[in-house]
Amino acid sequence: MAERFRYGFIGAGRLTAAMVAGLLEQGDCPPERIGCVSRSGLTAAGLAGATGITAGENAATLAGESEAIVLALKPQQFSDIEPVLAEVSAGRLVVSVLAGLRLERLARAFPRAANLVRVMPNVAARIGGGISPFTPLKPLSEDQRGLLEGLLQAMGRSIEIPEEQMDAATAVSGSGPAYLFEFAAALRDAGIAAGLPEATSRLLTVETLLGAARLLARTGRDPEALRDEVASPKGTTRAALDSLARDDLPGIVGRAVAAAAARSRELSQTPPASGETPRQG
């Protein structure tokens, strides 16, 4: 007999809201098959009211009625929820989207779970345009893979990787949107400084980055090849690229990704201090 809920979300913040919206938009999981709880109950009630899913009474009850338990609470709350879910997670798939929480820690917390999966979504999951690296504790059964894929497809694309690659993946895809936002802000401001009105510079920046990303994705070509097609000798683009090379753009990006990966490793080894919330990536 199937459980009451296909997915039970422990936590009802922005990422849960994004996953729920994606699940409902796909149409494969009706709202009555999704439940959520939050620490205060207020965010869960708000999400339930907005989507038609069920706000559960408490984490233990919700987990015991769900085929898949999705851990989407704040990282510093994990130690509080751990003993509550240890028994009721028996025989269930547990999916964690908490940054820095390794499978080894999950296995200690939920020794009787059917399987455990660590997932690192990024912020574009809000619009179903993200990519989520994931790694399971052990090979997924057909039913487990179906549950997981339903969840991951709600956020966009996904890729299975070994856990030892998760810190690097977090630095590239988990933190990556922020790098693009930073570049977009710089490009917008540079356009304004060069004489464009703010609204015009913003529009040109957003549409240029969007179009370039689509071209890169659709052609499947290396970014260097597309770059060289744009940059004619002694042209405006080549002048800009030469300036970026002098400022060591590859080195800047490389050092940024290395710093993010190092911080991801630190978070996985050191429990967060009281009141500290490790953000995505």
Q: How far is residue 56's CA from residue 74's CA, in Å, rounded to a whole number?
A: 18
Nearest one of 153, 148, 155, 150 to 130, comparing CA atoms:
155
263 within domain boundaries: no
Determine, yes or no, domain membership for 280: no
- Looking at the structure, tell me whether residues 21 and 138 fall in a common domain: yes
User: In terms of domains, do 127 and 14 share one?
Assistant: yes
What's the CA angle centered on 71, arms 39 and 79, to 5 degrees?
65
The structure tokens listed for 207 are 């549409």
Q: Is residue 151 part of a domain?
A: yes
Domain check: are 107 and 190 in the same one? no
Of 161, 190, 215, the residue that ends a domain is 161
| 41 Cβ contact list (under 8 Å, min separation 6) | 55
Q: Do 139 and 91 sit in the same domain of this protein?
A: yes
Q: What is the CATH number of the domain that holds 106?
A: 3.40.50.720
In a shared domain, residues 84 and 152: yes
Same domain, 128 and 208: no
Nearest to 280, CA basis, from 30, 13, 94: 13
Query: How far is Cα 174 from Cα 8, in angstroms, rounded to an integer?
Result: 23
Whole-angstrom Cα Rg for the chain: 21
Partnered with residue 116 across adjacent β-strands are: 94
| pLDDT tens, N- to C-terminus, the chain (281 residues) | 468 999 999 999 988 999 999 999 988 899 999 999 998 899 999 999 999 999 998 999 999 999 999 999 887 788 888 888 999 999 999 999 988 889 999 999 999 999 999 999 998 988 889 999 999 999 999 999 999 999 999 999 999 999 999 999 999 999 999 999 999 999 999 999 999 999 999 999 999 999 999 999 999 999 999 999 999 999 999 999 999 999 999 999 999 999 999 998 888 775 544 433 334 44
- Asked if residues 215 and 226 have their Cβ atoms less than 8 Å apart, the reply is yes
Domain identity same for 184 and 46: no
* Residues 139 and 187 grouped into a single domain: no
Cβ-based neighbours of 235, under 8 Å, separated by 6 or more:
none
- Of 101, 132, 161, which residue is a domain's last? 161
Burial of 58 (0-12, 13-18, 19+ CB in 10 A): exposed
Domain that holds residue 112: 5-161
DSSP 125: G
Q: Six-digit token pair at 199? A: 């609204």
Same domain, 22 and 117: yes
Residues 236 and 127 in one domain: no
Number of domains in the chain: 2
CATH of the domain at 205: 1.10.3730.10
Q: What is the pTM of this model?
A: 0.87
For residues 219 and 84, membership in a common domain is answered with: no
Q: Could you tell me if 49 and 103 lie in one domain?
A: yes
